[in-house]
Amino acid sequence: MIFVGAMRNSTAMYSIKAMPAKFLMFQHVKRWLHQKRNANNCVSFCQPLDLNEVQNFIDKTKKLFILTGAGLSTESGIPDWHNYSTDVGGLYSQSFFQNSDEISRQSWAEWMRLPSHELNDGHKALSRWEKRGKIEWLATQNFDGLHLLAGSERVTEVNGSLQRAKCMSCKDVTERIDLQKRFIKVNPNFSLDTEDENPVLSKDDMKKFTIPKCEKCEGSLKPDILFKGDKVETSVKTSLMEHVNNADGIMILGTSLKYFSSSQYAEVAFECNKPIAIVNNGPTKADHLATLKFKANLGDVLPKLTV
């Protein structure tokens, strides 16, 4: 499916660097204007996927700002993190480290046994694009670390990474592989068998399970990811806005842009008359801003494009 999106007003040119206060103050007005433009100017139609359309989009841009989401990770067999239950303090809930020892120990056991996943063709394609100078920057909502494993370097993991742990006191960061060794040292009978992706410690094991402390300050550790209720640091948002400013096109890959922390980059790009291409299997919050919208699996699109 291809969605031909909003036609831009050629006079609507803004400086991203001067935008933040104005952008936040009038956000509700801008969204209303976007919806009005969408109703008046958008044309949508369905037809078989035509890779020439997105290839032309890429050919016409020198530097792309890429935003990836769960739709890329799921093609590596990783469940969409939005589907995880947090009612009893699951892995992606703040209760991971704020509530009872029982919940914390169980959650750390899950983190220790997280299965490894293979890179998919989408990760590899984006890494090649970077090496060939096509990518201004890549921002990912995923915390699986697969972009870095694929060799991409111009990457911001907006929500952090499960491949690291951070001290809640001194903010020191430890790589997961190093922390695993420390876990095994203090829990010699604990198995790292990943066949069970939702391991449950017995009551006896729960009592014996020891969580290491920060080596520098003895503070409590947590996975280096944003939990529900956490906010993206201002410095990260500012840096990404600068990369949007430096790019001359934006691609949104495998994300519905559910949260403003991700959708804001599409909205800013739209206001600055930068073309936007979306590849996602479902609707997104930026569909009304898109120059092109493709409904497709990323593995069926990215590896077939050339830069």
Q: How many CA atoms lie within 13 A of 106 on its CB side?
A: 21
Q: What confidence tens digit (pLDDT) does each residue in 55-113 have?
A: 999 999 999 999 999 999 989 888 765 554 443 344 555 556 665 577 778 778 878 77
243, 236 contact by CB (below 8 A): no
Residues of the chain with pLDDT under 50: 1-18, 20-48, 84-90, 198
pLDDT for residue 107: 78
Q: What is the pLDDT of residue 220?
A: 87
Strand bridging mode 292-294 / 276-279:
parallel
pLDDT for 99 equals: 58
- Predicted structure pTM score: 0.79
249: closest CA among 60, 44, 68, 123?
60
Residues in the chain: 307
Residue 107 near residue 96, CB atoms below 8 Å: yes
Q: What is the pLDDT of residue 105?
A: 81
pLDDT of residue 209: 83
3-state DSSP: the chain helix, strand, coil percent, rounded to 5?
Answer: 40, 15, 45
Euclidean distance between CA atoms 31 and 242, whole angstroms: 22
What confidence score (pLDDT) does residue 261 get? Answer: 82
Distance CA 197, CA 306 (A): 37
Apex CA 114: angle with CA 123 and CA 194, to 5°?
Answer: 115
